[in-house]
Amino acid sequence: MVNPSVQRLGSSIDVPSVQSLAASIANPAHVPPRYVRPEAKADPVASDGESELPVIDFSRLLHHRFSREESTKLHHACADWGFFQLINHGVPDDAMEKMKADIVEFFKLPLEEKKAFAQLPNSLEGYGQAFVVSDDQKLDWADMLYLITRPHQSRNIDLWPAQPLTFRDSLSCYSMELKSVAATLLELIAKNLGIAPEEFSTIFQDQPQGVRINYYPPCPRADEVLGLSPHTDGSGLTLLLQVNHVEGLHIKKGGNWFPVKPLPGALIANIGDIIEILSNGVYKSVEHRTIINAKEERLSIAAFHGPREDSMIGPLAEIVKGCESKYVSINYGEFIKAYFSVKLDGRRLMDSLKL
């Protein structure tokens, strides 16, 4: 996730790379060398049913009779997994279905029409790919559309697709619904950590929000490519919506990759690097990746909720009382500059911030 004033600090893929992926789909027997990823098969994948993400019921978090029990489940999910599925979250079905439908229609557009919203040089916003920092690095088997959605005045509407006609309204509505869910979760996370919610409110003031809409085309040689390289999220809290039925998200736990099976209508939530640092490692920002399906496309939309750009990010005083800080303190603007200046590479940046 990137704040508006640092959005031009990252790198963007050039149009020829997008065309290369499109050509690969047209000729699926050939995977260009830049997309071949030997590491895709390097780590073991857990068997179906071997483990499942915690499930948190948002409505129980808000109900006085069940809130303590559900908050305890939320605490363990954040500490042990860093991921959880959020059900009964209150985002209207209509808002989610309209967003899904418009995402599907956008990626059906001819490449020339999608290129009208292409990333500009040295910009992250728009259609293309992120984290491309050199001409020879390996690429992810995916296209994406990244847009800043909050605060409202930071939106670059010129990069918001005008087709389908309802796209802009759908995204604006969906963005507002997620703002409410994220605000409540951040408040509950602060309470579980023993932090005054107002302190989190100050750090995440105005709730900067960006969305990454992901399109993962099928690839018959799916075991040779990756949809999204292993990484942690450089934000505070991520809320992911699965657009279609095709699975592909893996999270890393105990050296194994665990496939995520999204529940119908659920949001998949995960802790980002910022909350791991603020909590001094009590809550985990967990490495995850996306794999590709051999026969079907996969689509998803991830909403990243981050702190103010001028926030100093470091272990909070209430948490490190009587113990040592595990992470350096860093200005968030500098953190996000570093995050987007290198290719996705697991927990490398987070490890560099440890004391």
pLDDT tens per residue, range 177-205: 999 999 999 999 999 999 998 888 899 98
Q: What is the signed CA dihedral for 283, 285, 287, 293, rounded to 10 degrees?
A: 100
- List for the chain the helix, strand, coil content (%; round to 5): 35, 20, 45
What stretches of the chain adopt beta strand conformation (E)? Answer: 55-57, 83-87, 126-128, 143-150, 209-216, 228-231, 237-242, 249-253, 256-259, 267-271, 288-290, 298-305, 312-313, 330-331
pLDDT per residue as tens digits for the range 207-216: 899 999 999 9
d(CA 335, CA 332): 5
Task: Please tell me the predicted confidence (pLDDT) of residue 26.
Answer: 57
pLDDT of residue 309: 86
**pTM listed for this prediction:** 0.91
pLDDT of residue 28: 56
Contact 129, 146 (CB under 8 A): no
pLDDT along the chain (355 residues), means of 10: 35 41 57 85 73 92 87 97 97 98 96 89 82 75 93 93 96 97 96 92 89 93 91 96 96 91 96 97 95 95 94 93 91 87 76 88
pLDDT at residue 21 in the model: 58
Whether 328 contacts 314, CB under 8 Å: yes
Residue 260 CB: number of other CB atoms within 10 A?
21
pLDDT of residue 41: 77
